[in-house]
Amino acid sequence: MILTFSGRSAPSALKIADEDIGIRLNRGSRGDVNWGRARANTSLNPDISNVTNKRLMRRLFAEHDVPMPELVSWSDVSSDLTRGIPRKVIGRPDSHMKGRGFWLIQRPGDMVKAMRGTRRKKAATHFMEYIDAPREYRVHIFRGKSIRISEKVFDEARDYTTGKPQHEVKHVRRGAKQALEAVGLDFGAVDILASNTKCWVLEVNAAPGLGGSMPKLYAETFKRYMNNERLADE
């Protein structure tokens, strides 16, 4: 099996290949699995451009009724804040990595900064309602099956560890599967906010950073697919 990858996705690609001597790496565009290239000549995830552009990704979510934070227009938010109507929204650029580049907007001045951007922080291109949910999950989906779901536990610096979910997550898995289907991917990691009964999809990652047992899980999953073995939800 040949795993193609990009420069940014190389660390996790190397980890996956280290788990199985039958997995070969190719920095070019040909192979069996695309791990992070925008487009590749592969059977799995040949085109991930629907998620590399975050604005396009969220538009696809909206078109396919994926549960997500409501998208709001710049003019509506600006008008409300100028008139003193409380709003709390998140501004995002078209592309960002590991949560970088988001703008928390609560006052008119925040909106101005978000639209301008800085040398170190990209300007926002789209806005969505801030969701204050008690939990956040990462769900790994492969061809319609949930192969791993973990709850994120954040520290004060917004770094996080993951652990086994302690609450009902059927609705979280369902939202993650809807998100993958909406963006047309074979596999990916879905970040989701959730309460006990509702969930809000934040984004899909086509080449997520992997640690712990995850490189082994992906290596085993890819090999099982190549061997035509059936997969089931975890």
The answer for residues whose C-beta is within 8 angstroms of residue 201's C-beta and 6 or more apart is 61, 66, 67, 68, 175, 176, 178, 179, 190, 191, 192
In the prediction, which pLDDT does 143 show?
96
User: Which pLDDT score is estimated for 99?
Assistant: 58
Q: Which amino acid is at 136?
A: E
At 144-160, the pLDDT tens digits run 999 999 998 888 777 77
How far is residue 23's CA from residue 21's CA, in Å, rounded to a whole number? Answer: 5
pLDDT at 97: 64
| Predicted pLDDT of residue 98 | 60
Query: Residue with structure tokens 């109507």?
Result: 85
**Average pLDDT for 68-93:** 92
Would you state the structure tokens that stand for residue 178, as one six-digit string?
């809807």
Backbone angles phi, psi at 197, to 5 degrees: -125, -15
Q: Which of 196, 222, 82, 210 is nearest to 135 (CA)?
A: 196
